[in-house]
Amino acid sequence: MPIPTLTPRSRNSAATWRSAKNMPGSERPRKSRPIWKRREFWVRRALPVAAGLFLIGVLGVVGLFAWYSRDLPDPNGIVDRSVAQSTKIYARDGETLLYEVHGEERRTVVELEKIPFNLQKATIAIEDKDFYKHGGIDFRGLFRAVFTNIINLDVTGQGGSTITQQFVKNAILTTEKSYVRKIKEAVLAYQIEKRFTKDQILKLYFNEIPYGRNAYGAEAAAQVYFGKSVSEVSLDEAALLAALPQAPSYYSPDGNHVDLLEGRQGRVLQNMADQGYITQEEADAAKEEDTVAKIIPRREVIKAPHFVIYVKELLTEKYGEKQIEQGGLRVITTLEPNLQQMAEDAVSNGMAKVERYGGSNAALVSLNPQTGQILAMVGSRDYFDAEHDGNVNVALRPRQPGSSFKPIVYAQAFREGYTPETILFDLITNFGGTPNYIPQNYNGRENGPVTMRKALAGSLNVPAVKTLYLVGVNDAVNLAKSLGYTTLNDPDRYGLSLTLGGGEVKLLEHTAAFGVFANEGVRQSTVAILRVEDRNGKILEETNEGEGERVLDQNVAREISSVLSDNGARAYIFGTQNSLILSGRPVAAKTGTTNDFRDAWTMGYTPNLVTGVWTGNNDNSEMSTGADGSVIAAPIWKSFMQAATAGAPVVNFTAPKPNDAEKPILQGRLSSGETLTVDTITGKEIPSECVDEWPEEFKKQKELEQVHTILYFVNKDNPRGPVPDNPASDPQFTRWEEPVRRWAEENDKLVDRPAKEDCDLRTIANTPKVTITSPASGSTITGNSVSVSATVDATRAITLTKFVIDGVEITEDTTAPFQASLDVSDLENGYHKLKVIAYDTVEQAGSQTIDVIIQHESSGTSIYFTAPVPGSRHAISDGAISISVVAQSAIGIDSVKVNITDANGVVTKLSTSSASGSRYSTQWTPLLAGDYTIQAIMTDDDGETTSTDNLSVSITAD
């Protein structure tokens, strides 16, 4: 049927259409549809319009891309741009990270290979599962996000960003939530995808994305949250890190949505399993981990904080704040991690006693005196203890050092010609001034005439003030400055109180000054930084060990070390058993306590390690009576030094050279103007030729004093010369003479010129000869006591016999036969020195020392030598030397080995065989002459080791 022709619409057009439509039949005609509802209309007219609109849309999108691209950065420059990186401060091993110095962003750039597979896939699984499929923009996700935001009337809602877009947002653009920024983000993401590989984009992402706590990048996040490198994170930790970037603040483990963080972590793991990156079993196992409990509490992740802040200040002073916070420097410091931990433990463990005496804080500094390098620094008990101002580094704060400053004054005296044998009167003296300065000793007692050795070792105050007067305050201050003190700039303010700690010093500088004594007069500048590298590994600075600067005569330094390491010289004040000695190792030490117990110090050193300890209150308030340096600071010092030197070779101090033989033992002014030496026992004058004939041992044990003089006074300008012709011209003459006169009268010392002593009175031939008859040398004592018998062959009658073990007097006997029963129950198993000393009527003494072995029954752990004898001498021609050890362990013994170390530190290792039961033995054939130390090490069945103290022997060539 032909289709009717459409004509212009008229009144009859509809009828005509109907009639044509209904021509075949007589049915009622149907009503026609509007033309815009007809398919033909859309085919012929609407489709071209739609195509045009689509083209306009495309052109619009292209136009928008072009418009927003005009001011975007060039993607090619992204890799090369300067990214702010944290400066990392390491310990001296270059591996122990102490701290990251950063500004607002904590960041560390790492290669993609350092990012573990699990973290890469966890991030992709939760953030962008089609990362390897799209070209930078996930249109489906983007439209879904836009639709959701429109429905919710929220332009800041869902993001729908790919990993590439997230990188663009965080690294190049801002995080502003707007459609304009979103378009820019899409444009740049598209450009980046065209220029970079997927792996390159991942690397950029993992080094830029924020994870919260100011951590930018995966490496910084791993360090902040778990205290480890990102390469070390486990599967569950990787999942938690991947859960954070979507909303770091909302999901923060420090906030109120930890449960949602754990839920998102679980979703990450499940996504990884669903997407085939891990098995379901692995996902379930990781979900069981309590990962949140592994997170480091939110406080500065910092080790050795006071030292680190000190280093940061040094770096900032040189490089500036911006370079330190953003330059990505790698800083290797001098800090020794093991020693730092020992120092922190010593301070922490010692605080209970400090607090008992009203103190609240302590600080410790330890240096290598030969290099000046800081090995440990504890600026306070706890850096994070706000209650006690823990962030204050007391090691850098000026505090009064008390008597610990005395060695500097005596060092100046020794420089000027005084010696450790110079005698001063320890008598309460009014030194004048306004008000009058009248110092007294710590215990309030007077000791009469004492040598400078005893005065310094016993920390007597009056002789120290006299010494400072003799050398002059200015000279003492000048020496202090050459030793490295920077705080002593007002000598007039200190006056004679300087020697008792009247001037403030810093613990770090004080420790370094004692290091000059340890280094025999050579000062090394204090060093905290070994090397600084820029972000590309270029070395900006590097510390080389220098020769240092000699600021003190070598022999003067040795004399100070000799005095401070002389435990016998201080025993009259501190006792023989005190906290200033180390087991089996020579050490020099000095304590200090300020007025009203505001500060308590202990300073001490071996030739290789110097350590200073301060205790007190940050606000300088008083502690309770008795808070002496030897009581509260010395235990901390000893605890650290004992741990720090354990297992290290024993190094002895070099003895000082003898003083000028022509120098009188004592100088004083007599009415005749003569100088005499007087024996304290006989009261007779000792002619110089008699002294020359004395046995050396007798010279060491005798204390001579000038008892006839009314005033002891030396020539300040010539200490080794004659007594000044007119000592009364000195303004201190009368002040010093008055107490000496009083002392002489009270002690019946004001006598006429004494008679001269016969030079034959004391000779080597007249020295008592002691023979220990029981026990035999080298014998083993198994009980809790030992019976000792000795015979004495002497020209004169024997008035006293002393029985001594390991330098400690146990008992004495006054009548022959000389016998004693000594309690040895408290002695440790192993070698001990038994000594018997006999004194005649003029106190000339003879002695014999033997080695004995104490062997108590023990069910615990112990190890000790039974051969060779400590200090014994052997010739190379003697051949093999037998070494015997007794080792016991309730757990069971796996092995006993012997290490033999020569003077150069070369170690010879020997295995032993079990002779019977707990006895182990081996043979050693020395090839070279020299001094050796022997140490035995027992390893039990649990792998724990126990070692003996070092045993010394000498090998001679003949």
| Residues designated catalytic | 127, 403
CA atoms within 13 A on the CB side of 315: 35
628: left (phi over 0), alpha (psi -120 to 50) or beta: beta
Pick from 382, 871, 935, 427: nearest CA to 649 = 935
Q: Helices 117-127 and 258-274 sit at what angle, rounded to 10 degrees?
A: 100
- Where does 320-457 have alpha helices with state H? 321-326, 337-356, 406-415, 452-457
CA atoms within 13 A on the CB side of 564: 30
| Percent helix, strand and coil across the chain, each to the nearest 5 | 35, 20, 40
Residue 840 near residue 768 (C-beta atoms within 8 A) = yes
3-state secondary structure of 688: helix
The residues, any chain, with a CB within 8 Å of residue 605's CB and separated by 6 or more, are 369, 514, 515, 517, 518, 587, 588, 589, 611
Residue 200 near residue 236 (C-beta atoms within 8 A) = no
Which DSSP string corresponds to 870-929? TT-EEEGGG--EEEEEEEE-SS-EEEEEEEEE-TT--EEEEE-EEEETTEEEEEE---S-
The residues, any chain, with a CB within 8 Å of residue 545's CB and separated by 6 or more, are 371
Residue 457 near residue 589 (C-beta atoms within 8 A) = no
Phi–psi pair at 895, nearest 5 degrees:
-160, 160
CA atoms within 13 A on the CB side of 135: 6
3-state secondary structure of 942: coil
Measured CA to CA, the distance from residue 206 to residue 123 in angstroms comes to: 9
Q: What is the largest CA-CA distance in the chain?
A: 174
Q: Helices 258-274 and 280-288 sit at what angle, rounded to 10 degrees?
A: 170
Measured CA to CA, the distance from residue 904 to residue 927 in angstroms comes to: 14
| CA–CA distances in Å: residue 286 to residues 274, 808, 835 | 15, 63, 69
Phi–psi pair at 910, nearest 5 degrees:
-125, 140
Which DSSP string corresponds to 748-769? T---SPPPBPPTTSS-GGGS-E
Cα Rg of the chain, angstroms: 43
Measured CA to CA, the distance from residue 230 to residue 119 in angstroms comes to: 9
